[in-house]
Structure 1
Amino acid sequence: MKIAIHHRKGSFSERWIDYCEKNNVSYKVVNAFESNVIEQIKGCAAFMWHHHHGDAKDVIAAKKILFALEHAGIKVFPNFRTGWHFDDKVAQKYLFEAIGAPVVPSYVFYDKANALAWAKSINYPKVFKLKGGAGSANVRLINNKREAYKVINKSFGRGFSQFDKLNNLKDKLAKYLSKQESGKELLKAFAKLFISSSFARKHHRESGYVYFQDFIENNDSDLRVIVIDNKAFAVKRMVREGDFRASGSGVKVFDKESIDINCIKIAFEVNERLCSQSAAFDFIWDNNGKPYLVEVSYGFAIDFYDPCPGYWDNNLQWQIGEFNPQEWMVESLIDSLNNNEARDN
């Protein structure tokens, strides 16, 4: 039993490889961007690729290769049920609604006239989002009808770049001032005001649809709950100063007593319906304390979650101590391979 791994520095693959070496798991590093990648993976029982929404080549190639291999009977991570909706908030709206998950009320339009009529009839504020982007990229608060008309007209006109230069600079400035990032990163963001990013050059502008969510006020934080292999861990992310967004703020709370156990319960229930190998759910609350899902992703930052003091099992029992969620991914994949082998015998 051999696992093929596409390696990218700074990705899950570093911990996957480390786990394989420590536990004598046979593995092979492959290059998914070479034309013969399918040939490279032959003889392997599984393939793992931590593809990233911000890497242009990953976006173009990853799902095609992963799902093709899955069709051929090779176990992959992330598999189709885990990754088809990755970095697509509109797809996630339909998914959550279809399975009856408690999603923040969301609205998508593919016709300009319908969108304008809706914008004329609603109460504000609303949250405007492009379907792609993480860390609060491509997310704006729309305060009135005039602002809504503006984004609707642009959505059905010239469209939006998938890389928001101005928001990127604002984010880097906030992180620089809070000492989360270096001056070098801030200078890079400033340069990108004048030089188009590689990602933006390789991907079309977002147009032909417009997507909004209800704005649920009075949240000073959101909650990220990650479920992998019947285990869940969580972190509360505080809202940025002078902003409504928490994702990307870098301000976090790991204290178990600060975590809403109802969100942990919902995350397990929803993931059971999704059958996802890895699901990072984002929650916010209404004024009555009822949790709502905002979005989901199979991937997440690595070192950010290392200070978590423990995790919950699927019986909601707290297990204290350090853990490595990337190792859970490999272990779960190996268990799946072993189960298949036992059934075949």
Structure 2
Amino acid sequence: MRIAIHQSKGSFSDQWIVFCEKNNIDFKIVNALDSDIMAQLQDCDIFMWHHHHGNYRDVLASKPVLFALEQGGVKVFPNFNTGWHFDDKVAQKYLFEFFDFPLVPSYVFYEKDAALQWAESTIYPKVFKLKGGAGSSNVKLVNSKYECKKLIRKAFKTGFSQFSKGHYFNEQLIKFRETRNVLFILKAFARLFILPEFAKMGKEEKGYVYFQDFIPGNHTDFRLKIVDNKCWGFQRQVRKNDFRASGSGHLIYDNDLIPQSMIKLAFEISEKLNLQSAAFDFIVQDSKPLLVEMSYGFGIDAEEFNYGYWTKDLIWHDEKFVPQYWMIENILRNEI
């Protein structure tokens, strides 16, 4: 059994390689972006690639490479069930609704007139989102039908850049106020003139429009992550003078504050969808958890792995862990 790993510094691959080395597992490092990647993988049984939505090369190549290999009988991470809906909130809407999971009420339109008619009669506020993006980028609170119609018309005309200069600028200002590090100010102004590579290469988002209901009364959201039937999580505080929690950086690690019903739901979704890895974003309405979105990948913050995890029987294990190790153990067992 030989594992091929696409190496990318700062990704899951760092710990995948460490695990293989520690356990004398046969592996090799490959570049999934090479034209001859299929030839490179002829002697491998497993291929693992932590692809990222902010890398335009990954976006173009990852799913075709992974799904071609999977169809050919190679075990991959992330596999089709885990990754086809990655960084696509509209795809997740359809998936969650089909399985009747408790999703924040969500609306997608592919025709301008239908969207404008809905905007005329719906109740505000609503939350506007693009299909892709993380850390609350491309997310706006819409307080009136005037604002809503303006967004709709733009969506069906010029569209939206996948990189928001205004959002990035404000994010860096917040970090500067918190740290007084002038580097954040320099980065904020630099991005007004120099776009990141993925923004230069990516196309405008247009031809559709997507909204979710705004659920009031949430001062935090919840992020729960599951790998190999083990779950851990934390709360994220809503930003000051804002409604968004994702990307705030203000995390609360207290397992007693996470509702058992939410943990059970996360395990249920992961099992029904047959996911190798999942990070779920939840909020609460009337004491009941509501799904916002999910992702196969998640940020790597070593601190969060120090506080323990639940197993499927909801027993808490107060010990440190490395979830990237679980990913390899799981795929070697061929459970998924």
Q: TM-score, normalised by structure 2?
A: 0.97
Displacement of 1:280 after TM fit? 0.4
Task: Give the match for residue 198 of structure 1.
Answer: 197
Answer whether contact 2:6 2:48 (CA < 8 A) is retained: yes
CA offset at residue 306 of structure 1? 3.0
CA distance in 1: counterparts of 2:90 and 2:126, whole angstroms? 16
Q: Counterparts of 2:51 and 2:245 in 1: how far apart (Å)? A: 23
How many angstroms apart in 2 are the aligned matches of 1:109 and 1:249?
29
CA contact (8 A) 1:119 1:148 kept: yes
Partner amino acid, structure 2, of 1:72: G
| Alignment correspondent of 1:36 | 36
Task: Provide the aligned C-alpha RMSD in A.
Answer: 1.4
Instruction: Give the Å deviation of 1:190.
Output: 1.9
TM-aligned CA deviation for residue 270 of structure 1: 0.9
Other-structure match for 2:321: 323
Cα offset, 1:152, TM superposition: 0.3
Q: Given the superposition, is the C-alpha separation of residues 167 and 16 from structure 1 closer, same or farther in structure 2, using an over 3 Å criterion?
A: same
Residue matched to 1:57: 57
| Percent identity between the two aligned chains | 55
Question: Per-residue displacement from partner, 1:192-235 (whole Å, max 9, x unpaired)?
Answer: 11223211121110000000000000100000010111110011
Distance 1:208 1:235, change over 3 A: same
Assess if the C-alpha contact under 8 Å between 2:116 and 2:149 holds in 1. Answer: yes
Query: Does the CA contact (< 8 Å) of 1:106 and 1:211 recur in 2?
Result: yes
Q: Does the 8 Å CA contact 2:127/2:142 hold for their aligned counterparts? A: yes
Q: Measure, in 1, the Cα distance between the counterparts of 2:100 and 2:228.
A: 22
CA displacement at 1:35 relative to structure 2: 0.6
Aligned equivalents of 1:137, 1:52: Cα separation in 2:
15
> Does the Cα contact within 8 Å between 2:284 and 2:290 map onto a contact in 1?
yes
Give the partner amino acid of 1:116.
L
Deviation at 1:308, TM superposition (A): 4.2
Q: Can you list the C-alpha shifts for 1:149-203, whole angstroms capped at 9, x where unaligned?
A: 1100000010000111110111122123223x95434422321112232111211
Which residue type is aligned with residue 318 of structure 1? W
* CA distance in structure 2 between the partners assigned to 1:86 and 1:24 by the alignment: 32
- The one-letter code matched in structure 2 to 1:74 is V
User: Residues 74-114 of structure 1: CA distance to partner in whole angstroms, max 9, x if unpaired?
Assistant: 00000000000000000000000011110000000001011
Post-superposition CA distance 1:272-311 (Å, at most 9, x none):
111000010000011x111100000000011255354111
Q: Say whether the 8 Å CA contact 1:82–1:275 is kept in structure 2.
A: yes
Partners of 1:226 and 1:280 within 8 A in 2? yes
Structure 1: state its 5+ residue gaps.
341-345
Secondary structure in 2 matching 1:29? strand
Aligned residues: 336
**For each residue in 1:99-133, what CA deviation from the matched residue of structure 2 results, as whole angstroms up to 9, or x when unmatched?**
11100000000010110010000110000000000
Q: How does 1:289-308 map to 2 (within 5 A)?
A: 289-303=287-301, 306-308=304-306
In structure 2, the residue corresponding to 1:159 is in which secondary structure? coil
Q: Which residue of the partner structure matches residue 343 of structure 1? A: none
Matches within 5 A, 1:118-267: 118-179=118-179, 183-267=182-266
Per the alignment, in what secondary structure is the counterpart of residue 217 of structure 1? coil
SS of equivalent to 1:306: helix
Q: Which amino acid aligns with 2:153?
A: N
Q: For residues 25 and 289 of structure 2, what CA distance do their matches in structure 1 show? A: 40
Q: Check whether the contact 1:109–1:209 (CA below 8 A) recurs between aligned residues.
A: yes
Q: Secondary structure at the match of 1:60?
A: helix
Residue 140 of structure 1 aligns to a residue whose secondary structure is strand
CA distance in structure 2 between the aligned counterparts of 1:95 and 1:214, rounded to whole angstroms: 18
